[in-house]
Amino acid sequence: MLIYIIFIATIFLVSSNRYASLRLRNGTVIALSFFFIGLRYETGFDWPTYKAQYAYISETGISSFFELLGTQSLVGTVEPGYVLTTFLASRLFSEFEFVAAFYTLVLLLSIVKLGSVLGVRNIGMALVLIHMPLLFTLEFSTVRQSLAIAMFNFGLAYFFEKRRGLSILFFSLSPFFQLSGIIYLAVFAMAIVSKRTSWAIFIGLTAVLITISTPTILLTFGSFLPPQIVTKLEWYLIERNQGGGIIDLGTALILLLPATLLTVNAMRKHGQSRDTATILQVVALMSFIALVFVSEQTIRNRLVYEIVILLSLLAFSRIYLILPYMRMVLLLYGLIILSIYLVQESRIMYLPYQNYVGWTAFGIESSGQDRAIEYNARLRSR
């Protein structure tokens, strides 16, 4: 537990040190984040699954790649973008840990890129607000989701830079790493189509979403989609449907209610650039949709991951003055989520923390396999 507190405290102290140059502070925080998160060793909830997938994909020859792509993504639950990148990465890296580190680097670079476009000077402080609630979920575990978010972040950055070709390319790649990328694209499309968001739009959107949000209706619409998408919908809506308890819902509302109200209120202020209005509208719509699906944990969390990243960047961007309370909301939410993860029973999956460099350099035996077995045994006993 202590190592996580030290990590967060260290990047906070580095980011707030005014005696060092801003470039040095930002670079140090990014390097520390990559070392701690990217070079984790058998730490996080999903690493056994991803490590097994890597082992299977890496053993496939080039001649069998298309057969692999078909069996793993077309009739399975792993998106083709992840299969392809993992296949290529396995030709460059001999171990899964290096591939995981590369994927972490992609996410960090996407945050830095989007932050620079939005005018974020102290990217380190924004990363503090991002790491606190997302360290154990997006950054330690949901690799495919992190890649989908990274592609979307790059797409947004290039859109604001008026580099439309690159923007379309990265937007298009997002769903190929995690199907939830489709939601991000739909939100972005709504943001650029509607010139101004009003409460009438939100009320209408609520009615539509509530109408189609039941699994039966969604799967009925899904019958017109490709089989692989239907498979994913069935997995998330039926087999893996999670509601969450009162604490889970309460913490989500601590973020989503202020996020929706503050971004909608900010959009109503005059004198904004078109790009500022667009990014605020993206966050507002994501927050609002997450509120509608607040009881559907999987769908809600897919949106919350990106909402936290975007709001953390906006909180330290040049438009912060129109979101004056956002830093406090994010700090409160992050502290609560971090505290919950540090004390809950499932902490056996990431405690003790293991770093690949340290464990291999000193020849320390990993406890990852034992923790994974214990964790799965607890899940079966519930």
Q: How many domains does the chain have?
A: 1
Say if CB 292 and CB 349 are below 8 A apart: no
Nearest to 330 by CA among 276, 251, 225, 232: 251
Q: Quick check: pTM over 0.95? A: no
CA 115 – CA 313 distance, rounded (Å): 6
- Write the pLDDT tens digit of every residue in 230-280: 555 555 555 555 555 677 888 999 999 999 989 988 887 767 788 888 999
Q: Which DSSP letter does residue 365 get?
A: P
A 10 A CB-CB count for 326 gives 22
CA 332 – CA 153 distance, rounded (Å): 24
Query: What is the pLDDT averaged over residues 297-308?
Result: 91
pLDDT at residue 213 greater than cutoff 70: no
Q: Which two tokens stand for residue 24?
A: 């040095």
Q: Which spans in the chain are helix H?
A: 2-16, 22-33, 47-58, 65-69, 80-92, 96-117, 123-134, 143-160, 164-173, 181-193, 199-212, 215-222, 227-234, 246-267, 274-292, 297-315, 326-343, 356-361, 368-381
DSSP string, 228-287: HHHHHHHIIIIIT-----HHHHHHHHHHHHHHHHHHHHHHTSSS--HHHHHHHHHHHHHH
Domain range enclosing 286: 2-381
Q: Which residue has the higher pLDDT, 6 or 198?
A: 6
**Confidence band for 320, pLDDT divided at 50, 70 and 90:** confident
